[in-house]
Structure 1
Amino acid sequence: MRNRNSKNFGMILSGLMILLVTITSMAGCGSPASDEMSGGAETEEGGLSTSQRDTAVEDGIPLDDFFANIQAGGPPMDGIPPLETPEYVTMEEADRFLSDLAVVFVVESSEGVYVYPQSILVWHEIVNETFEGEKRSITYCPLTGSTIGYRGVLTAGETTYGTSGKLLNSNLVMYDRATTSYIPQILGVAVSGQSKGERLEEFPVIWTRWHLAKAYYGEGRVLSTNTGFIRDYQRDPYGSYLSGDDYYNNDRLMFPVMNQDDRFNPKEVVLANRISETPFAVLKESLKSKGLMEFSVEEEPLAAFYDEALETGRVFHRGIEEQVLNFRIENGRIIDEQTQSVWNERGAAVEGPLEGTQLDMINVYDVMWFGWFAFHPQTDVYE
């Protein structure tokens, strides 16, 4: 799956420079973020003590090392402007500006389905919303292909997130507006400021295609191009996920990373997260071809199911009460060997003795392999 053809890389760089100039000039935001931005003095209130924060590590890497490797990405603080008061249109209205194969990100909530086109988020990277009375943010980094939902709750209080204008491992560095602590998006842990060492709480965001979302959900709210900013939402400055020798489809990186691994193409998509403090990744293409995969992390038996209807994957605990289930695919159906119950791709038993039972889901998200490994070099990979 390796792609070494990168003859147009210089053109991409030029396009990105134009993008940075455009964003900086149009955003109308404040002065650039300071390298010393730390959110004030650290205290022992509600979290790690000062001494604990100084020695805190993630995947064997001190948080201070992460902070030391943060670099300027080009735009100033909030120069890539998050959307604070998003407007929505119906699916029928969104059909006028979205092609069938357009990438979209879906949030399922008790209030309904919300759809966020990649073509809009590539220009804004963060949408701050309120679902079910709680502040939440849909975050997207084009350079690492990672879309992660984060709740706006910290020890310091309720918050929203902004773009710092910085990068770490080619990944978006956010900041929280309660303490202005830096939070690399993939890491999901504050590496500076009052919130240093605090991990954000995630919620699921599904990466899929527009025609699949339309067919599966039927109705929902779609983020409108009426954002209040002047942007060309029909043009992706990084290229296209559909074809071409551009950033998404070659193996070149734009910025330095702390750790590299050549087992896979750098931009191979994995479904990744962690169990306790142990990171893991599932090759998405392998899961697609197999339909399901079983593995264990931290002695926790897990199963990954591929959902063809949305072209996504989900990971579940295989334990039901004190029983560990093993699954197989038979005539296109997922069946457990212990009870012969039939399960759907969302981890629910729909036929058999366990009908009505729901497997506990572990949130995973799509991310380019290089971006995940740069933060988590001790990752176990399942393929």
Structure 2
Amino acid sequence: MRAIILSLLLLATPAAADPDFWRHEWPGTDFSRSAIPWIEVRSGGPGRDGIPALDAPDFIPAADETRLAAREPVIALEMPGAVPRAYPIRYLTWHEIVNDTVGGLPVAVTFCPLCNSAVTFDRRVGDRVLSFGVTGKLRHSDMIMYDRETESWWQQAVGEGIVGEMTGVHLTMLPSWMEPWSEFLSRNPDGLVMAQPRANRPYGRNPYERYDSSQWPFLYTGDAPPHGIEPLARVVRVGERAWPLERLARAGRVSEADVTIDWQPGQASALDTGDLAEGRDIGSIRVRNADGADVVHDVMFAFAFHAFHPDGIWMVE
């Protein structure tokens, strides 16, 4: 991890925060429209599509999957009228975005390792269907995505257009959640799981070894979270509220602010040991409303919640 961070730091320089410097790489982006200070944009190291998003991936029956360990995290997506699908983090760690269509709905399943943010979006904006790629740039250590149709830039953690034609547009977030593979398989024995991509990547390895026990986030220059919460502590974000995962783990269940959050053990951290399946147990959560329906949420690092929701409500004890 230290070697990776050092190499990325050598490539990531503040001087690159200038639209004139980016235009040759982004000829289709309207840099006259922006919702952010340019100084907040940093190069994460790889260039445009250096982290290649996946399009229309293959799936196999969940019962036929043999690569995944029981505690490995997957993103579960259970859409009405569609067969449940699991997107393994072992693949999303290396690709970060999956453009898919589920039950006729175009979706983007996303994961930013540096923020631990896993969010699924509806890819429709009005009458247009967008497809997304990875810019290779970061803001508050969070992935900046782009759409291939307008080359606008989007903030992954909040689904907001921040540069270009789509500035100010918000993608619709869909309920999805991270859970251990064993939990998905037990609940959905007839479900589907994304097949291993046809790319030369060491799937199952965590290139961010010990990242979630670091003292400070990569290329983050903002303030630390309040209440003495560690920057890389996980929190459950629901709207403008954040519940520390540590609190939920102690309680097991918390019912507040019109939602019920359940925690149970059994999920490996994807950002701990080099072998992703061997990460320490951080548990997993489900967030439901009073009717028992799954609620849009994210399990992200505390610094990221504080950066993108500076007026957010911290649900501490």
What is the aligned counterpart of 1:228 among 193, 198, 202?
Answer: 198
Partner AA of 1:260 in structure 2 = A
Q: 2-side partners of 1:75 and 1:34: how far apart?
A: 16
Structure 1 residue 102: Cα displacement = 1.0
Aligned: 1:170 with 2:141: yes
Aligned: 1:10 with 2:2: yes
Structure 1-normalised TM-score? 0.68
Q: Provide the secondary structure at the position in 1 that maps to 2:163.
A: coil
Structure 1 residue 366: Cα displacement = 0.9
Q: Percent identity?
A: 24
Partner AA of 2:5 in structure 1 = L
Q: Do 1:307 and 1:314's aligned partners in 2 also have CA atoms closer than 8 Å?
A: no
Aligned: 1:254 with 2:218: yes
What is the aligned counterpart of 1:125 among 73, 76, 96?
Answer: 96
Deviations 1:11-62 (A, max 9, x none): 45258689x9xxxxxxxxxxx87576673388xxxxxxxxxx77xxxxxxxx
Structure 1 residue 212: Cα displacement = 1.8
Partner AA of 2:245 in structure 1 = K
Partner AA of 2:30 in structure 1 = G
Aligned: 1:183 with 2:154: yes
Structure 1 residue 360: Cα displacement = 5.9
Structure 1 residue 137: Cα displacement = 0.5
Structure 1 residue 362: Cα displacement = 3.6
Aligned: 1:305 with 2:246: no
Match of 1:243? none
Residue ranges of structure 1 left out of the alignment (5+ in a row)? 1-8, 21-31, 43-52, 55-62, 240-245, 297-301, 317-346, 348-357
Q: Do 2:212 and 2:233's aligned partners in 1 also have CA atoms closer than 8 Å?
A: no
Q: 2-side partners of 1:114 and 1:89: how far apart?
A: 10
Match of 1:363? 296
What is the aligned counterpart of 1:265 among 225, 230, 233?
Answer: 230
Q: Provide the secondary structure at the position in 1 that maps to 2:213.
A: coil
Q: Do 2:101 and 2:107's aligned partners in 1 also have CA atoms closer than 8 Å?
A: yes
Cα-Cα RMSD: 2.7
Which of 1 and 2 has greater Rg?
1
Partner AA of 1:371 in structure 2 = A
Match of 1:39? 29
Partner AA of 1:314 in structure 2 = V
The alignment covers a number of residue pairs equal to: 287
User: Where do 1:334-349 residues align within 5 Å?
Assistant: 347=290
Q: 1-side partners of 2:36 and 2:4: how far apart?
A: 32
Structure 2-normalised TM-score? 0.81
Cα distance change of structure 1 residues 211 and 359 upon mapping to structure 2, 3 Å threshold = closer
User: Where do 1:15-30 residues align within 5 Å?
Assistant: none
Q: 1-side partners of 2:169 and 2:28: how far apart?
A: 14
Partner AA of 1:97 in structure 2 = R
Structure 1 residue 373: Cα displacement = 1.1
Q: Do 2:235 and 2:243's aligned partners in 1 also have CA atoms closer than 8 Å?
A: yes
Aligned: 1:287 with 2:248: yes
